Chains A and B, each alone.
Chain A
Amino acid sequence: MKILVPVKRVVDYNVKVRVKSDNTGVETAGVKMSMNPFDEIAIEEAVRLKEKGVATEIIAVSMGVAACQETIRTALAMGADRGILVESDVDLQPLAVAKMLRAIVEKEGPKLVILGKQAIDDDMSATGQMLAALLGWPQGTFASKVTVEGDSMTVIREVDGGLETVVLNLPAIITTDLRLNEPRYASLPNIMKARKKTIDIVKPGDLGVDPTPRLVVIKVEEPPKRQAGRKVASVAELVDKLRNEAKVI
């Protein structure tokens, strides 16, 4: 079976973002960009399913500016077979992304789509569930273990109280949680090989989707800053401060 993995280009998780002085967004010029960490986990899971003989082909899709090709190349170097870039300069929100992914799913016919549980820039945690709804497929969100057995799949999910196990009929949607696997680093030979793999480029219009944002960003601001407090010299002083100054115990 084919597996589709959407991979998003985001500000690297090590970067401390800064709000632009005109309050229109965060500074992204000159900032290190990487694949969303949850999407690396998604690619890794797909590659493992291929290594086990469950999957036959892995397609990595990214949506956004032309530079998203770099993100697709990373996915190809990790083991995806080919890529699709939906190129757009518009702020792509999950509803539009999910609609475009639906169009790609209808064309490519994957039996499984593995997404990240959230993108670490916009933290929406929405796209996978939305795609599942648009396709009428079942969903296994926040997955920490996935086992494919014939036409169905067992998914262990991370929920607020612990873990939950569900069985989904294929085709289905998975979103990855942190503990699903530890993504591999691409080896140099694989990075070289990835350069020869194909990336098709399409536009939102080719997929019949109007990507105009439904949520308009009015302004982006710094959150209130927390002042660093002070050091205490001993446990006794700490407890005294908590009791008599902060009065929280």
Chain B
Amino acid sequence: MTDVLLEMRGITKRFPGVVALQDVSLEVRPGEIHAICGENGAGKSTLMKVLSGVYPSGSYDGEIRFDGKPVHFAGIRDSESAGIGIIHQELALVPYLSIAENIFLGNERRGRNGLIDWNRTNAEAGELLASVGLHESPVAPVIQLGVGKQQLVEIAKALSKDVRLLILDEPTAALNDVDSAHLLDLLRRLRDRGIACIMISHKLSEITAIADSTTVIRDGRTVETLDMRAGEVTQERIIRGMVGRDLESFYPERNSAPGEEVLRIEDWTVWHPVQHRKVVDGADLNVRAGEVVGIAGLMGAGRTELAMSVFGRSYGRNISGRVYMHGKQVRARTVAEAIDNGIAYATEDRKRYGLNLIADVRTNVSAAGLDKLARGGWVDGNEEIKVAEASRRDLNIKTRTVLDVVGTLSGGNQQKVVLSKWLFTDPDVLILDEPTRGIDVGAKFEIYTIINRLVAQGKAVIVISSELPELLGTCDRIYTLSAGRITGELPVAQATQEDLMALMTMEKELAG
């Protein structure tokens, strides 16, 4: 056995007009957890796509050696058969197929007659599920699982192919703390079985907790590889590598001086669109000018559903309750009416609900506020470019020009485009659903700064987040939501993570 499992040397990858990676090197030892850190757009995902054959050999320069032998993957199948499994930033399971079918998709377990051997398929899937600690029936359709469990299915799928190197691109971005902890435990167990792991993450606390070494990438170049086993490398140290300077604080300071009430929701009840159950049950909440209000809750508590149903009833059915803006009851039965009333909602799922990925940055930024750019139904294209350029500068969106297609931007920069779109509508209340998902530390700080700027202008902001420290660091007041009910309301000065957690799980305990 060699002492390096994977060696990537001098990798350079160009896209038309962009050099995404320049002379990048990476070494992974057998059975280690190797973290990759870097700002949004640094080239992390691209490097992993090069490694796994998504970008085939020949479309990049440089050398990859796996197990001491040079390899040239023409596609993802080649890298899989060599023992490299990748789990992309966006999960890729087929929702209506069963867990077992998903695990063996493209790699079906067949009997002697060439047909699928279902007994073997389901039995082997059951074993794999046990090994990743997922207690679900192999025949359950994937659509019934939450994101955390889907993630485990993806890992089981990779394990079914005898991987020796598992790549995870931001695996915990969409997970809550409990699921994340579970996943990290699993990675440790895999490491003990000798499976090496490359993990991309913007959650530095996870990296310091789990990684054996960390490679930092900045602007498409390797900056350094840190040995983490001694436990001396701090988050601050990694940040310095990522951004090239010290970051003195995670949250910008703000003098909060809440004013008049802007938005109030009373007795808000929402039914599931197809199932017979309430997703939000009699929620009351309000937010004042110059105030940041957080909504904490576990996955499935109904946070997104609450926000989307308020935002022009874009979720659920049989919605009842009242919405007040500036003390006056308003109609917000369609998204257009909600926007007209000064409500904006930036989604947590930018690819599905937030962006037109095949259109350019400019049209995405203006998509919700076209009326502001139009006279008599005609869009002022020059003004539109100006607006997009301004957003690019204000939010520091990394793109060559605003005419670039949004789908080619890195994940974090796409998130900033979503934000720009809603900032441009100039709302009175901005609802941000997981605004920093997949965003690097520097950009997080920028987004918090933007939130502060908005409230300083007298706007109201609602932040939905799975990260309690983020809520505690940015909000004035936090509501907790559990199984569709508001179970608590705490001023941030009196709140701790433990309090919030207790309130977030309250209803569940009552029910269970």
Chain A bound to chain B: no
B-side interface residues toward A, CB under 8 Å?
none
A-side interface residues toward B, CB under 8 Å?
none
